[in-house]
Structure 1
């Protein structure tokens, strides 16, 4: 595992850092640090303009092949870009689903025509994407989907419901797993469709979260249409495409995520230092454990990215580890505020001469009245659920990593 950066890599780091500094100190200063956990709804128009600014300057799809409009950067340079983006407190990306999931999937599984059709809008930041995987009755069992696509002439008609669909209210496209053969075993008979969102037969209902925001949505398909040209990987071949897409989710961008975690940890530590609570040995121990956990997370990710194996065993622990770590950070963030962490911002309360945010003692704030610590705490509870719950991740580790007997399946006799 070679973790050293070459002179060319360091020159690239300087280029990326200079560009980000100039852009985020200038017209895009308003979006610096915005759009993170619990803040995904903020400054949409400004962040969309930022997405298009990134695209115009060649900073979208940096790891894509040059033939597909990317920079074809090495793995080391991709790591550098994501690290520098997080270090500069670049805003939460509106195009991350398109760039990180859809783009690599189309490049790997799509036809030449599909690459020419779908990739330019992602690179330019003009087309946003959302993910049509989860369903109300499927839980963490993705293969248990019931959304169906039925052949109708030279196209397909979709019926069903998806849930927890991030960015659906803003997206132009949704990639949808749908069952095209209801008689086949559940991991077969599934197809992977690219579905335009602006059409009859699609209803989007925002889901208001405990953070007060509505990043997630329910999406109902009632006669929405897709064509054969919207089908990635062929009829009934969607399961392999879906698993390939999830593998792309664990790429170099995870190191940028970890730098964002570092920024959050630093902010929490600063709050503890200002309040004097960092002198408490129990609190200091929690901080040290979080610091050590973040270092372990980084080294394990670098080890995974450095291996040639398709699915190294070390990769199996990644989601479980970072989700649990982030949840612990959210807990420390609220604890750091003491009793005020339960009710609101003490500075705001002092200015108003009343209880924080106008709440009575013991009441809980909601929506825009939440503090940053409260948003972090509430959002990080979901980290251990979405993208595969902690329980599912432990099953994967046990069966695939440790070779333990598999859990009983519904189809088992």
Structure 2
């Protein structure tokens, strides 16, 4: 009788993961391997995201044990998968595929998503359905073994570089708005898909609008059942808010680090009043960082809930207050912003830019990933248990709603 691998029956804890990471590195020297080959091998070894199931980049371990693997790989000088560039895929698409995808979809989509070979975007918001996402009107009409999709999406990050898009579309306009939606994976290279840049206040076109004209989606690219799109989308949205507001950062990382650097570099501009305000902002940023750690610990033992909305809401407000403080500190120098070139960046970098850019770009934080107004409603109703706002359109067929 063939003996089972002793490791297969051992519990996956920090020590076993550390051993597996070291064993992997002994066979895959990052200094002598092609970057993409290394990332593919890491996924296949189960060291990509340890909380995912075996065969899908993980070991079914606790989420927080990922830090053990990252520490070993970082010490060995191993390349990462550039997570900021593929944040939508990692933070939003992957958890949704894991929760609702078929085995074939998981096997086909998750590996190139994690390695960064295929960039993802999110096709949710529309010109007439942003805060009220359930009112989305992009139509998906059944045709043979697939669907023809026609409509417009807006504020789509990474659409200009994306291979795939997670798409919410209306498959039955005769049902109420929440019930007539379905969720698809759209091939962004389909000839029926057109991506146009949206120039922002910063001068960049980080976002896009996407037009779909009879774009083809095979039914095998549907996530969840027909009409189950709103339920599937909730998984995406809950993970999105954690991905934006609860991502791990070191102490004095992110916006507060950039502003603290400006403070240290300009001793002549300091006043006692500004000092007290910066200390208050720094303490709030640290409290938010620690709350993010706690939220991720809770996430390790369950699915994300409405608490992520509070993280994202606080993140947006604090980023805007910090960037406003920095402009005030620099006075007239804070108003200078010279780079109005129409660029289409792959990611947002608050640290590598001037104060004027940070101030302008932070305005979008209260819109992207759910507007602050909607997040306050979610917190009030689902966290605090306050009475829900009156809603008169939830039982009316979507086609009968005024638009």
TM-score, L = length of structure 2: 0.78
Give the direction of change, closer, same or farther, for the CA distance of 1:51–1:162 in structure 2 (3 Å limit): farther
Q: Summarize the alignment of residues 271-282 of structure 1 with structure 2, pairs less than 5 Å apart.
A: 271-277=262-268, 279-282=270-273
Q: 1:318 aligned to 311, 315, 335, which one?
A: 311
RMSD of aligned C-alpha atoms?
3.6
Conserved? CA contact 2:183–2:223, under 8 Å: yes
- For 1:214, the equivalent position in structure 2 comes to 205
Give the direction of change, closer, same or farther, for the CA distance of 1:82–1:338 in structure 2 (3 Å limit): farther
Name the CA distance, whole Å, in 2 between partners of 1:230 and 1:372.
Answer: 42
- For 2:3, the equivalent position in structure 1 comes to none
- For 1:366, the equivalent position in structure 2 comes to 340
- For 1:98, the equivalent position in structure 2 comes to 89
Give the direction of change, closer, same or farther, for the CA distance of 1:260–1:170 in structure 2 (3 Å limit): farther
Conserved? CA contact 1:175–1:194, under 8 Å: yes
- For 1:265, the equivalent position in structure 2 comes to 256
Aligned-residue offset at 1:95:
1.6
- For 2:219, the equivalent position in structure 1 comes to 228
1:178 lines up with 2:169 in the alignment: yes
1:70 lines up with 2:44 in the alignment: no
Conserved? CA contact 1:79–1:255, under 8 Å: no
Aligned-residue offset at 1:219:
0.3
- For 1:137, the equivalent position in structure 2 comes to 128
How many residues matched?
Answer: 359
Q: Summarize the alignment of residues 308-387 of structure 1 with structure 2, pairs less than 5 Å apart.
A: 310=303, 314-344=307-337, 366-367=340-341, 371-387=353-369
SS in structure 1 at match of 2:190:
coil
Aligned-residue offset at 1:120:
2.2
Aligned-residue offset at 1:312:
5.7
- Comparing 145-154 with 330-339, which one deviates more in the overlay? 330-339
Conserved? CA contact 1:144–1:186, under 8 Å: yes
Conserved? CA contact 2:112–2:118, under 8 Å: yes
Give the direction of change, closer, same or farther, for the CA distance of 1:220–1:11 in structure 2 (3 Å limit): same
Name the CA distance, whole Å, in 2 between partners of 1:180 and 1:197.
Answer: 20
Conserved? CA contact 1:133–1:142, under 8 Å: yes
After superposition, the C-alpha distances for 1:124-146 in whole angstroms (9 at most, x for unaligned) are 32111110000000131110100
Give the direction of change, closer, same or farther, for the CA distance of 1:76–1:157 in structure 2 (3 Å limit): same
Q: 1:292 aligned to 283, 286, 296, which one?
A: 283
- Comparing 403-412 with 383-392, which one deviates more in the overlay? 403-412
1:127 lines up with 2:118 in the alignment: yes
Give the direction of change, closer, same or farther, for the CA distance of 1:280–1:85 in structure 2 (3 Å limit): farther
Name the CA distance, whole Å, in 1 between partners of 2:94 and 2:302.
Answer: 22
Aligned-residue offset at 1:388:
1.3
Conserved? CA contact 1:82–1:252, under 8 Å: no
Name the CA distance, whole Å, in 2 between partners of 1:63 and 1:185.
Answer: 36
Conserved? CA contact 1:79–1:256, under 8 Å: no
Name the CA distance, whole Å, in 1 between partners of 2:293 and 2:182.
Answer: 33
SS in structure 2 at match of 1:150:
strand
Q: What residue ranges of structure 1 are gaps of 5+ in the alignment?
A: 1-5, 28-48, 345-356, 358-364
Give the direction of change, closer, same or farther, for the CA distance of 1:175–1:84 in structure 2 (3 Å limit): farther
Name the CA distance, whole Å, in 1 between partners of 2:242 and 2:71.
Answer: 13
Name the CA distance, whole Å, in 2 between partners of 1:50 and 1:277.
Answer: 46
Name the CA distance, whole Å, in 1 between partners of 2:244 and 2:174.
Answer: 38
Name the CA distance, whole Å, in 2 between partners of 1:178 and 1:314.
Answer: 27
Name the CA distance, whole Å, in 2 between partners of 1:73 and 1:372.
Answer: 41
Give the direction of change, closer, same or farther, for the CA distance of 1:104–1:306 in structure 2 (3 Å limit): same
Give the direction of change, closer, same or farther, for the CA distance of 1:214–1:11 in structure 2 (3 Å limit): same
Aligned-residue offset at 1:203:
0.9
SS in structure 2 at match of 1:301:
helix
Aligned-residue offset at 1:7:
7.2
SS in structure 2 at match of 1:191:
strand
Name the CA distance, whole Å, in 1 between partners of 2:192 and 2:145.
Answer: 18
Name the CA distance, whole Å, in 2 between partners of 1:253 and 1:389.
Answer: 12
Conserved? CA contact 2:176–2:394, under 8 Å: no
Name the CA distance, whole Å, in 2 between partners of 1:290 and 1:9.
Answer: 40
Q: Summarize the alignment of residues 23-38 of structure 1 with structure 2, pairs less than 5 Å apart.
A: none
Give the direction of change, closer, same or farther, for the CA distance of 1:95–1:72 in structure 2 (3 Å limit): farther
Give the direction of change, closer, same or farther, for the CA distance of 1:394–1:242 in structure 2 (3 Å limit): same
- Comparing 52-61 with 268-277, which one deviates more in the overlay? 52-61
After superposition, the C-alpha distances for 1:355-406 in whole angstroms (9 at most, x for unaligned) are xx5xxxxxxx634899521221111111011111111111112222222222
SS in structure 2 at match of 1:337:
helix
1:396 lines up with 2:370 in the alignment: no
